[in-house]
Amino acid sequence: MDKNNMSRREAIRAMMLAGAGLAASSSLVAAPLKMAGLNPAQQKFTEPAKGDQVIHRTWKSLNGESISLLGMGCMRFPRKAGAGRRAPLDQEQINQMIDYALEHGINYFDTAPAYGDSERATGEALSKHKRESYFLATKMSSFSNADLTACKEMFARSLKNLRTTYFDYFLLHSISDMADFNHRFKDNGLLDWLLEQKKKGVIRHLGFSFHGSNEALRQLLALPYTWEFVQIQMNYVDWKDMPLEDSNEPCDSETLYKMLAEKNIPVVIMEPIRGGALANVSDGLKARIQQRFPQFTPAAAALTFASTPAAVMCTLSGMSNMQQLMENVYTFSHFKPMTAEDNAYMLEMARLYNANPHIPCTACRYCMPCPRGVEIPGVFGVYNALSDELMLPDPKNKKDKDFKEKKKAFLKRYATLAQGTDASNCVACNVCVPKCPQRIRIPDQMRKIHKLVKDLG
C-alpha cells in the first residue's frame, strides 16, 4: 500500500500489528489460537433469576438520581416477521421487553425522532407504568432541517409520541463538530429555546450526543454552557482509536471519556457492542475472551468493559429481542467492574479484532434509504461478518490454500442480499455520506466491495 495514501486508522493498525509481530492476515491471527489448543467456544446464556436487579449508580450532579447502569437503547426494537426492515415494530414484544426491563431495575430509556417509529412504540409501552418510575431520554434529530419552527414541531411531536409532558434527559443529537453545532443548534436560536424549556421544567437535564474528533469535543466543552451529561461511543475496539474515515483528526474513546470525567460530566455510553459486531466476533476471538472470562459471552465482556469506568452513568444497549435483554440483565445484575489487568486483556482483544479489516458500520441506518436502493448496512454487514469469520477472500492471493473456500463462502453470503441492493447499484451520489455518524466513505467502500466481487468473478 502506498504509505502516503494510508488512512490514519490503517497507519495505526499497521503500527499495532508491526509492534506485535503480526500481519493483517486471518491465518496468522488464527494460528496462535490453534497453537494454544483453544477451541471456539459456544456462546453461553444464563437466564436471570426472578429477583435479579441491574445495578444503579447515583449522581449528585443530577439531583441525586439513581440510574441503572444498563439503559435500554430503543433504536433496534424487534419488528414483525415478514417484510425485513420495512416491517412494522412488534409492539407486543416491545411491551413485554419494557415490562421485563422495569421489573429488573432498568430505569433509563433512550430514543430519538431519528429512530423511525421508536418514540411512538416506546411511549405506548411505557404508558402503563408510572411516569416517575423511569427516566426518559430523547433527542433533537435536526439533521435535515435546522429551521427553528421545524425543530419546535419535532420537539412537540416527541412529547406527544412519548405520551409525556417532560423529558428527563434531552440531547442535541449527534454533534460532529463546531460547524455542525453552530448550524443546527446555535445560529438558529434553538439552544436558547431549549434552555427556556429547561427553565420551564419540560427538559430536566440537557446534554448532547457526540460523534466527532477529540478536538471537536474539546471545543464543545470549552463553550459557556453547562452540559449535564454527554453521550459518546465507547467500546474496547474504539478505546485507543476510533475511525473517522473522512478525517485525519485523532479520535478515540479513551480521550473522549477522560475529557468528560475530568469535568465531572456523567457519561452515557452508546455502541458498547458496536452495533452488535462485538457480540458476534470470530470463533477465535470468542474463545480467547472466554479463556479469561468464562462467565461472559463476548457481548457481556464488551458491556462490562464499557461500563467499568466510574464516570459512566449509563451504558445503552439496543436490544432487539427478549434473549438479548435477559442476557444483559444477567450481566448487569452480577456486575463486577473489570480490573486494570482485565482492561489490558480486552485491549489485546481489540488489537486482534483490528487485525482483520472492518468497515466501522454500526448498522444504525441513519444513511438509509439510499435513492438507488443499496442496502448500505447490509452490504457492510456481509463484508464484516466474513472478515470476522476469517473468510474474506483476497483475489490477489489466489494461491492461498483456503482461497476457494473463502470465495465460495463470501459469494454465497453476498447473494443473500436482495436483488438490486448490493454494492454494484451505488452510483456514488454521496447522499448518504453526511448522514453517517461514523463518517464512513460509503461510496468508496461500495466501490471496493463491488471490485472485490468482480475480481472473484
Instruction: Name the minimum Å distance from CB 256 to ligand SF4.
Output: 17
Rule CB under 6 A: is residue 260 a binding residue for ligand SF4?
Answer: no
77 Cβ contact partners less than 8 Å away, ≥ 6 residues apart: 89, 90, 94, 97, 118, 121, 320
Q: Is 288 helix (H, G, I), strand (E, B) or coil?
A: helix
Rule CB under 6 A: is residue 363 a binding residue for ligand SF4?
Answer: yes
Beta strands in 256-393 (DSSP E): 267-270, 312-318
**Element (DSSP H or E) covering residue 174:** strand 167-175
Rule CB under 6 A: is residue 268 a binding residue for ligand SF4?
Answer: no
Residue 37 vs 371, nearer CB to ligand SF4 = 371
Rule CB under 6 A: is residue 436 a binding residue for ligand SF4?
Answer: yes
Residue 16 vs 364, nearer CB to ligand SF4 = 364
Instruction: Name the minimum Å distance from CB 117 to ligand SF4.
Output: 17
How much of the chain is in helix, strand and coil states, percent to nearest 5? 45, 10, 40
Rule CB under 6 A: is residue 438 a binding residue for ligand SF4?
Answer: yes
**How far apart are alpha carbons 145 and 156 in whole angstroms?**
15
Residue 207 vs 377, nearer CB to ligand SF4 = 377
Rule CB under 6 A: is residue 346 a binding residue for ligand SF4?
Answer: no
Rg (CA), the chain: 22
Residue 295 vs 424, nearer CB to ligand SF4 = 424
Residue 358 vs 365, nearer CB to ligand SF4 = 365
Instruction: Name the minimum Å distance from CB 20 to ligand SF4.
Output: 28
The span of 62-70, 87-95, 398-406, 437-445 binding ligand SF4 (CB under 6 A) equals 437-445
**How far apart are alpha carbons 108 and 315 in whole angstroms?**
10
Rule CB under 6 A: is residue 114 a binding residue for ligand SF4?
Answer: no
Instruction: Name the minimum Å distance from CB 369 to ligand SF4.
Output: 8
Instruction: Name the minimum Å distance from CB 108 to ligand SF4.
Output: 23
Residue 300 vs 302, nearer CB to ligand SF4 = 302
Total site size for ligand SF4, rule CB under 6 A: 28
Instruction: Name the minimum Å distance from CB 406 to ligand SF4.
Output: 24
Rule CB under 6 A: is residue 376 a binding residue for ligand SF4?
Answer: yes
Residue 246 vs 342, nearer CB to ligand SF4 = 246
The span of 1-9, 49-57, 375-383, 406-414 binding ligand SF4 (CB under 6 A) equals 375-383
57 Cβ contact partners less than 8 Å away, ≥ 6 residues apart: 66, 67, 69, 312, 313
In angstroms, what CA-CA distances link 173 with 109, 111, 139, 142, 198?
Answer: 15, 11, 5, 7, 17
Which of 362, 389, 390, 406 contacts ligand SF4 by CB under 6 A?
Answer: 362
**How far apart are alpha carbons 381 and 390 in whole angstroms?**
14
Q: What's at 186, amino acid-wise?
A: K
Which of 366, 383, 410, 414 contacts ligand SF4 by CB under 6 A?
Answer: 366
Q: Within positions 393 to 432, which residues make up the interface with ligand SF4, using CB under 6 A?
A: 426-432
Rule CB under 6 A: is residue 233 a binding residue for ligand SF4?
Answer: no
Residue 42 vs 430, nearer CB to ligand SF4 = 430
Instruction: Name the minimum Å distance from CB 360 to ligand SF4.
Output: 7
CA-based nearest residue to 76, from 121, 107, 45, 106: 121
- How big is the CA angle at 17 (ends 13 and 22), to the nearest 5 degrees? 145
Q: Which string of DSSP letters, residue by residue, matches 197-231?
A: HHHHTSEEEEEEEE-S-HHHHHHHHTSS---SEEE
Q: What's at 162, amino acid-wise?
A: L
Which of 367, 382, 390, 449 contacts ligand SF4 by CB under 6 A?
Answer: 367
For the record, the C-alpha cell of 169 comes out as 434527559
Q: What is the dihedral of CA 291, 295, 301, 306, to 10 degrees?
A: -130
Q: List residues near ligand SF4 by CB under 6 A.
A: 361-367, 370-372, 374, 376-377, 380, 426-432, 435-436, 438, 440, 442-443, 446
